[in-house]
Amino acid sequence: MRLAWTRHAEEDRLRIWEYIAADNPPAAAQMDALFGQAAERLRAHPKLGAPGRIAGTRELVVHASYRMVYEQDAGGVLILALVHTARQWPPQAAA
């Protein structure tokens, strides 16, 4: 099954890496490995995550602090975002 990351999700992953690595590079590497492992699990088991807060998406808690938002279709899995659990999701539209 196909697995792809949107540009937004790749940017989320990089920002998380940079934030954690500023204080603890080994922890950043460990977190990034968790993201990669979770994505690979979704390739094999795309319904692993719970139905998402946005219609048509699913969400997998990768770590107590992060959830992976993705879409699944017959062709595969598309990772849409990595979201810190303390953040508003989905983001509210600007007023």
Q: Tell me the pLDDT of the chain averaged across its residues.
A: 93
State pTM to two decimals: 0.90
Q: Which residues pair with 36 in a beta bridge?
A: none
When pLDDT is cut at 50, 70 and 90, the band that residue 8 belongs to is very high
Give Cα separations from 35 to 2, 41, 73 (angstroms): 16, 10, 20
Domains and CATH numbers, the chain: 2-84 (3.30.2310.20)
Q: Strand pairing of 66-73 and 76-84?
A: antiparallel
The pLDDT assigned to 94 comes to: 45
